[in-house]
Every structure is written in structure tokens, then in C-alpha cells.
């Protein structure tokens, strides 16, 4: 399978890219700075671009079987990459007639505090999180309006750098009851499983332990 990974240079993106290569896929890593990404694998192609520059997305998307977006804003205070960046990516995917698009979001976005563990409510009070999460809600709403795409939104819990366990819970909907954390390694494993199996078409799925 030919996969385009947007946000491949991030911590989760690197884990996903390596796992996809280990599974025999051909991966195009879409990054802003190619010097920060190791391109030594024969099935790895590193593409320089920016989701906020639509003209760099179009050639990267053409010919892919699926696109996986693991975007994180830089600087952290700006949610522009979520809304405008994902919008540009979605437009490029549609124009290239690539139907499969996975986008990583966050479990707590747009959810009533009563539905979240107490510790998660504290996380949502962090100023940068409080500013970014409404942007994630807008991103999700715009993506879900595309009936012409086989999209999946993965709403990950608070990310950690823990080891892969394979013992996570995936729940269709807003949240995993009582779920607070998920390691980046397990998120990467789950994303690849969704790509390979074609699961959760036009669904939002929450992921946590």
C-alpha cells in the first residue's frame, strides 16, 4: 500500500512511519524540514511541504492509496494547522481522487466535562489546550461534511511516550469511558491497523487505555 503521512516528523508520525515500513508499505513522509528526517529506507520517500501551502500538497497526494494526518501545531498556541491545514489536505485528497483519509484528533474536544475523568478536566483547563480544542472540533465538523471521502477521525487520549502494549480500547464516538492516556506507540499501531483493515469508515473513534 502507498501511504502519505502528513506530520511524519512528529513523535507519533515517526513511529507510524517506521511501523508502516516494517509492514512492507511504501511511505511518503510529508514534512516541513527534510533535514530532520532520515530518508535511508528504500521504500521511504521524503517530501518537503507545508499543509498551509496547498500547492505543495497536490503532488504529494497523487497516486497514494491512503493519507494519514498526524498534525501538531507549531507554535503550540496556533490551531491554524488543524483547521486550514486539514481543509487544504482534504481538498487535495478529493482533487487527486484518493478516498481514504485518516485524521488524528483529541478525545476531549467538544465533549462535556461530565463525560470525562476528573484528571482530564484539569488538562482541558490548560490555556493552550483550551485554545486548541475548539479548533479540533471545527476540523472534525468540516471533515465529516465530506460524504465523498472514506474518512476516519481518531480521537486520541492524552499522549505519552510509553511502550506499545496492544491493550488499548477503541470506542466509536466521543470518548473511551474512563480513558485518560494512550501511548504514541499504541496510537501508531492502531492507525496502521485501521489503514490496513479499512475499519471505521466515516466514523469517529476514541482511543485510550
Distances in Å between the Cα of 164 and the Cα atoms of 87, 103, 187, 207, 209 are: 31, 20, 9, 14, 11
**The three grid cell numbers given for residue 193, joined into one nine-digit string:** 491497523
Residue 15: pLDDT band with limits 50, 70, 90: very high
pLDDT at 196: 98
Mean pLDDT taken over the chain:
93
Rounded to whole angstroms, how far apart are CA atoms 33 and 49?
A: 8
pLDDT at 78: 72
Quote the DSSP letter at residue 113: G
pLDDT at 77: 62
User: Which residues span the domain enclosing 162?
Assistant: 2-208
Q: What number is the average pLDDT over the span 15-29?
A: 97
- Per-residue model confidence as pLDDT tens digits over 122-146: 888 888 888 899 999 999 999 999 9
More confident residue, 118 or 105: 105
- Per-residue model confidence as pLDDT tens digits over 39-59: 789 999 999 999 999 999 999
Please state whether the predicted TM-score (pTM) of the whole model is above 0.85: yes
Residue 113 and residue 161 in contact, taking contact as beta carbons nearer than 8 Å: no
pLDDT at 191: 98
Evaluate if residue 118 carries a pLDDT over 90. Answer: no
CATH number of the domain at 67, please.
Answer: 3.40.50.720
Evaluate if residue 110 carries a pLDDT over 90. Answer: no
More confident residue, 177 or 75: 177
3-state secondary structure of 203: strand
Rounded to whole angstroms, how far apart are CA atoms 58 and 60?
A: 5
Distances in Å between the Cα of 8 and the Cα atoms of 65, 115, 123 are: 17, 32, 25
pLDDT at 192: 98
Among residues of the chain, what percentage have pLDDT more than 70? 98
pLDDT at 76: 64
- Per-residue model confidence as pLDDT tens digits over 66-86: 999 999 887 566 788 999 999
Domain count, the chain: 1
pLDDT at 85: 96
Amino acid at each position: 500500500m502507498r501511504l502519505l503521512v502528513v506530520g511524519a516528523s512528529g513523535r507519533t508520525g515517526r513511529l507510524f512511519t517506521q511501523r508502516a515500513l516494517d509492514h512492507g508499505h511504501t511511505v511518503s513522509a510529508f514534512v516541513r524540514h527534510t533535514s530532520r528526517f532520515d530518508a535511508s529506507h528504500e521504500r521511504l520517500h521524503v517530501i518537503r511541504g507545508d499543509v498551509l501551502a496547498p500547492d505543495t500538497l497536490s503532488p504529494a497526494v497523487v497516486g497514494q492509496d491512503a493519507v494519514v494526518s498526524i498534525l501538531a501545531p507549531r507554535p503550540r498556541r496556533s490551531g491554524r494547522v488543524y483547521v486550514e491545514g486539514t481543509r487544504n489536505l482534504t481538498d487535495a485528497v478529493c482533487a487527486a481522487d484518493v478516498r481514504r483519509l485518516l485524521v488524528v484528533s483529541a478525545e476531549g474536544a467538544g465533549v462535556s466535562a461530565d463525560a470525562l475523568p476528573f484528571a482530564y478536566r484539569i488538562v482541558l483547563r490548560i490555556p493552550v489546550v483550551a485554545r486548541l480544542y475548539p479548533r479540533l472540533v471545527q476540523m472534525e465538523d468540516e471533515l465529516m461534511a465530506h460524504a465523498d471521502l472514506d474518512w476516519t477521525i481518531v480521537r486520541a487520549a492524552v499522549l505519552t511516550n510509553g511502550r506499545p502494549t496492544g491493550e488499548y480500547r477503541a470506542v466509536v464516538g466521543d470518548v473511551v469511558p474512563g480513558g485518560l492516556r494512550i501511548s504514541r506507540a499504541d496510537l501508531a499501531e492502531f492507525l496502521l491497523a485501521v489503514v490496513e483493515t479499512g475499519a471505521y469508515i466515516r466514523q469517529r473513534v476514541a482511543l485510550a487505555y
